[in-house]
Amino acid sequence: MLSKEWATRAAVLAMVALTGCASMESHDKLATQVQAANTAGGPAVALKQLEASATTDDARKALLRERDTRQEREDAPVAITPL
């Protein structure tokens, strides 16, 4: 019985690992495309490429949240400590 349990665990682990690899490959491909668009046409073109990749409402909302978070960080005051 123990061997069947370990076989099940191994199968689940293999599925999780393969799913993670597929997601990473997709992310790498998108990152490469966005970087190429930035190099070829600048940030506006890269942004359009990134926005085009967001095909669901949730993905669009995530992009907007990321944009807003980055803007908040850029707008935050910076404390300069004298030496």
Query: Which has more pLDDT, 21 or 73?
Result: 73
Maximal C-alpha separation, the chain: 68
pTM: 0.47
Rounded-to-integer distance, Cα 43 and Cα 75, Å: 19
For 1-55, write each residue's pLDDT tens digit.
557 777 777 777 777 766 665 556 677 888 888 889 889 988 888 888 888 888 8
Q: Is residue 82 assigned to a domain?
A: no
Neighbours of 37 (CB within 10 A): 19
Q: Is residue 33 assigned to a domain?
A: yes
Q: Is residue 78 assigned to a domain?
A: no
pLDDT at 40: 92
Q: Is residue 50 assigned to a domain?
A: yes
Exposed (0-12), middle (13-18) or buried (19+): which is 47, by Cβ within 10 Å? middle
Domain assignment of residue 24, given as a range: 2-73
Q: Structurally, how many domains does the chain consist of?
A: 1
